[in-house]
């Protein structure tokens, strides 16, 4: 390669995204609790739609995603014309940056926010600006203080990954209202369905011109492997995003399965109920073993250990017991491990293993 062939500014500074591990050498009875997946998988209706989709493999998919958008609008009480669908919410988050941020612009995200946000900022040549949280909770005043006339986007996951904490609707509205006029608040609702009665920020989107919400089928819908997400925003912003979206970004299979999944709210409700119950049980069991966590609003807990060494030793011990959890030092949380709420047997195994670890087993 010649010296003249160079990537765009910022690209080589991007740290490669690390997904959750799924194998342990030499172990067969392994439980993966490192990617916040739904332990019950996809619902029956989604599985059936997947089987049926085989008949349409030779057909190009719809470019306007009308059927899926209508199903989402009916389920969540939204305007279908202001919904956009993408390859995971990752794609929606990325399209927003492609369309609205570039060299010289700033993209704000929070201290323990999703690691994709700074990666996306660098991808488009913008400058990522990290803002401190207060005890693992987003600090609206700190975000507002960090905004400048170059701020184009503020990414906020609510509930946040990997802390599991969230801020209230009034705080989010205060943030939207305090942003400089050229900035968009991107409310990432990847875990919104785990919070009973929470709309992910949809009503705020309806009431403001500077807020976009993103959602996913990867978490409570149990479809992470299929890659489907969506966004909801003001009409002018959605119009812009549709111009940078690939026309055939979603396959027939993705569209059909997502539509079936959104119409199967019984699976969502059952997944949420199990998660709420087992999350509380696991958090309490770990706390009894001397491993506290903040109250989580999502499908994982952030277990806090006394030191980085202890967290790493706990991770190694859990691995020896066939349990894969997530080290979150890259999120600025070296003393913590993020543990997805699995099914009942997985939660019991985690609690038992942590008990053994704290009791001296290593």
**Smallest gap, in angstroms, from Cβ of residue 256 to ligand PLP?**
18
Instruction: Report whether the peptide linkage leading into residue 220 is cis, meaning its omega lies within 30 degrees of zero.
Output: no
Question: By CB under 6 A, is residue 118 in contact with ligand PLP?
Answer: no
Over the window 86 to 105, marking each residue x when it contacts ligand PLP by CB under 6 A and - when it does not, the resulting string is --xxx---------------
Looking at residues 213 to 272 of the shown chain, list those that interact with ligand PLP (rule: CB under 6 A): 216, 218, 224, 229
Distance of alpha carbon 223 from alpha carbon 230, whole angstroms: 13
**Smallest gap, in angstroms, from Cβ of residue 8 to ligand PLP?**
23
Over the window 129 to 168, marking each residue x when it contacts ligand PLP by CB under 6 A and - when it does not, the resulting string is ----------------------------x---x-------
Cβ proximity of 45 and 267 under 8 Å:
yes
Question: By CB under 6 A, is residue 187 in contact with ligand PLP?
Answer: no
Question: By CB under 6 A, is residue 188 in contact with ligand PLP?
Answer: yes
**Smallest gap, in angstroms, from Cβ of residue 123 to ligand PLP?**
14
List Cα–Cα distances, 36 to 137, 178, 196, in angstroms.
19, 32, 18
Of 180 and 332, which CB lies nearer to ligand PLP in the complex structure?
Answer: 332
Looking at residues 21 to 50 of the shown chain, list those that interact with ligand PLP (rule: CB under 6 A): 36
Of 119 and 283, which CB lies nearer to ligand PLP in the complex structure?
Answer: 119
**Smallest gap, in angstroms, from Cβ of residue 45 to ligand PLP?**
20
What value, to the nearest 5°, has the Cα angle with vertex 112 and ends 108 and 117? 45
46, 146, 190, 336: which one contacts ligand PLP (CB under 6 A)?
190
**Smallest gap, in angstroms, from Cβ of residue 142 to ligand PLP?**
19
Size of the site for ligand PLP (CB under 6 A): 13
Other CB atoms within 10 A of residue 149 CB: 9
Of 50 and 230, which CB lies nearer to ligand PLP in the complex structure?
Answer: 230
Residues that bind ligand PLP (CB under 6 A): 36, 88-90, 114, 157, 161, 188, 190, 216, 218, 224, 229
């Amino acid at each position: 390669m010649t010296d003249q062939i160079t990537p765009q500014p910022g690209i080589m500074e991007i740290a490669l995204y690390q997904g959750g591990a799924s194998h342990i050498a030499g172990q067969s009875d392994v439980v993966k609790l490192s990617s916040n997946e739904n332990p019950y998988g996809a619902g029956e209706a989604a599985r059936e739609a997947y089987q049926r989709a085989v008949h349409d493999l030779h057909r190009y998919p719809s470019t306007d995603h009308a059927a899926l958008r209508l199903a989402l609008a009916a389920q969540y009480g939204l305007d279908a014309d202001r919904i956009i669908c993408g390859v995971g919410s990752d794609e929606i988050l990325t399209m927003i940056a492609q369309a609205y941020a570039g060299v010289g612009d700033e993209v704000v995200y929070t201290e323990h926010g999703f690691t994709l946000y700074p990666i996306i900022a660098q991808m488009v040549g913008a400058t990522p600006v990290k803002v401190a949280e207060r005890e693992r909770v987003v600090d609206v005043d700190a975000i507002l203080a960090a905004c400048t006339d170059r701020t184009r986007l503020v990414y906020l996951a609510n509930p946040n990954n990997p802390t599991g904490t969230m801020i209230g609707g009034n705080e989010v509205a205060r943030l939207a209202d305090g942003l400089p006029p050229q900035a968009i608040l991107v409310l990432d609702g990847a875990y919104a369905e785990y919070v009973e009665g929470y709309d992910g920020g949809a009503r705020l989107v309806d009431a403001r011109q500077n807020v976009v919400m993103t959602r996913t089928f990867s978490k409570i819908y149990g479809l992470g492997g299929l890659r489907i997400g969506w966004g909801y925003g003001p009409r002018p912003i959605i119009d812009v995003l549709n111009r940078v979206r690939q026309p055939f970004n979603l396959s027939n299979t993705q569209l059909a399965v997502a539509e079936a999944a959104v119409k199967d709210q019984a699976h969502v409700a059952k997944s949420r109920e199990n998660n709420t119950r087992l999350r509380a049980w696991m958090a309490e069991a770990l706390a009894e073993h001397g491993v506290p966590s903040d109250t989580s609003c999502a499908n994982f807990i952030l277990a806090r250990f006394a030191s980085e060494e202890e967290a790493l030793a706990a991770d190694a011990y859990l691995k020896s017991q066939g349990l894969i959890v997530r080290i979150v030092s890259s999120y600025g949380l070296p003393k913590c491990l993020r543990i997805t709420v699995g099914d009942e047997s997985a939660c019991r195994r985690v609690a038992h293993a942590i008990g053994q670890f704290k009791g001296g087993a290593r």
